[in-house]
A and B are shown apart, each in its own frame.
Chain A
Amino acid sequence: MTWESVLDAAAAICLLGGSFMTLAAGVGVLRFPDLLSRMHAGTKPQVLGVLLGLAGYALRIRSGPVIWVLVLVGLFQLLTAPVAAHMVGRAGYRTGKVASDRLLVDELTIDLVQAQRTEPGGPTEEPTETPPSSQS
């Protein structure tokens, strides 16, 4: 058993794991009932799947400079995934896609209700029904 076949086997395991993450995400995004749990399923290939795929590719080609570019790709993925998830989650909350009664912890609704109580003459409607024009 040579060193190269060990690396190839590791690459195969990484690629299989990355592909399995996308299958899990597909099942999750189809079966889960609301936006936040679908986002939870969608992050599996976004970070772990892509990193495993890149690791498998790097283990197969084994050349120094290319591996650094792949590390950079993985870093970009780690930087951009939270940005996208934050934007989607915030837009979902502000357009009323997040049902507060399905959540165990919903600190934003508590804070919004408290802020409206302390504000004299403020709007008394439910915070999830604020119009989307208030987006900034």
Chain B
Amino acid sequence: MIVVAVSGALLVVGAILAIIRVERGRSMLDRMVALDIMTNILVIGVALGAAWTRRLDAVPILAALALVGFISSVTVARYAAVEPDDEGRIKTLEEIVDEESATEDEAEEEKR
């Protein structure tokens, strides 16, 4: 019981740190590496929960995760392109407002 709690806490902390890297990013491949870690945390978490309750029905889940877990990173790596430095981040609210007002202006001018 204590082991499960400690292991779960370690898994959750590791997942939070990986998600922070997904958010900060810098490039698509950095995010993909962090998401790969999330998949592995999922596998270990399923094994941990199933080991605690001694359930047998988690085995096909583990097999499926092990088979498809690597497809996402291979796919993203295949289509990776050179990104400008400014592109790998989330836009701020002001930028979104500016862009939307610009597109609205264009639409109104087209009506006239």
Contact = CB atoms under 8 A, between A and B. Distances in A.
Contacts of B83: 95
Interface bracket on A? 35 or more
A135 B70 CA distance: 20
Contacts, number: 175
Given A57-B47, A61-B51, A83-B70, A66 B59 contact: yes
Nearest to B19: A26
Contact of A42 (B4, B15, B34, B77): B34
Contacts of B14: 19, 22-27, 45
Most A Cβ at <10 Å: residue of B40, B81, B82:
B40
B56 interface: yes
A57 B67 CA distance: 18
Given A15-B51, A16-B7, A76-B67, A29 B73 contact: no
Contact of A91 (B10, B36, B78): B78
A contact patch SS: helix
Interface in A81-117: 81, 83-84, 87-88, 90-92, 94-97
27 contacts: A12-B3, A19-B6, A22-B44, A24-B14, A26-B16, A29-B18, A29-B37, A35-B27, A35-B30, A38-B33, A45-B44, A46-B37, A46-B40, A53-B43, A61-B51, A66-B56, A73-B66, A74-B66, A76-B67, A84-B36, A87-B73, A88-B32, A88-B33, A88-B77, A92-B77, A132-B80, A132-B82
